[in-house]
Amino acid sequence: MLHKNQILIILKTNKMKKILYVLPILLGTLFLASCDQDEAIEEIDNSAIALESSLDKLYAYQKDITINSEEGSQAVVRVFSNNLNDVTAYSDANIRLVEIQAKESLHESLLRNNLIDLSEEKSDSDDVSDPGIASDSGIAFQLLNVNKSREGVRYALSFNHPETSIAKADWQYYTHYSSPNQETIAEISRNSLWRRVYYGLKYKAYSGSSWATIQNEWKLVPNNSSYSHTKNPCYQFRMRVKTKKSSAYSVTFDY
């Protein structure tokens, strides 16, 4: 017959065996859960880094420019180029933040801000298309963020380009990128009779998608006119603009 103390020792031993048996399982589960959490965080961080560096891989130089609207909103536009002098040439004098009020079109907003002169007559045919071939070189723009002075409004960027290393050429080419995974509308408006503006538009439905064509290059934008395109789902737009000299046009991705 077992002594009382012997029985207690056996019971304790059995409990310890159970604990020692269960403990590795619990530790393993916690370790796997921790690994899964770390991997999830790492994926999010890598995704954020990828968004920030995607254009950095295409262009050697970049510059951030802070611009303000007449209504008090503030935005940061990043300028990209493979030519340092081209990036340096840009300032807030070349890019204007235009507020588009609720129920107001881009064209109406440009008129309200005196960026379009209706006295100028249209001189181009609506269906004229230029067969020119785009150069791989050029300057790119992306709106990074907007601090809105009020809700319920949208914004456009109106450009009056400075003279750069490509400004002496017959044609100049500019690329406009929307912010990733934010906008579903792309629109361009021409502001000047004297500067012809052509454009082409592509988009990615998802981050891993290839660029798909919405509008072939080069479609003429008639004076005092605009073209708008909507895509949903849309991860990002890429608009290419072809123009001469300083030009005068505005772009919005429904910011």
Distances (CA, A) of 34 to 26, 31, 38, 116: 12, 5, 6, 59
Whether the full predicted model's pTM is greater than 0.75, yes or no, is no
What pLDDT band is residue 49 in, cutting at 50, 70 and 90? very low
Higher-confidence residue of 45 and 249: namely 249
Distances (CA, A) of 197 to 45, 168, 228: 39, 17, 15
Provide the 3-class DSSP secondary structure of residue 178: coil
Q: Which of 165, 158, 177 is nearest to 137 (CA)?
A: 165
When pLDDT is averaged across residues 220-231 and rounded to a whole number, the result is 93
pLDDT digits (tens, 9 = 90+) for 67-121: 999 999 999 999 999 999 999 999 999 999 999 988 898 888 888 888 876 655 5
Alpha carbons 143 and 124: distance in angstroms, whole number: 30
Higher-confidence residue of 30 and 69: namely 69
What pLDDT band is residue 38 in, cutting at 50, 70 and 90? very low
Q: Which of 185, 200, 182, 213 is nearest to 106 (CA)?
A: 185
pLDDT of amino acid 244 = 79
Q: How many CB atoms lie within 10 A of CB 219?
A: 19
Higher-confidence residue of 6 and 94: namely 94
Q: What is the DSSP string of 107-128?
A: HHHHHHTT---TTSPP-S-TT-
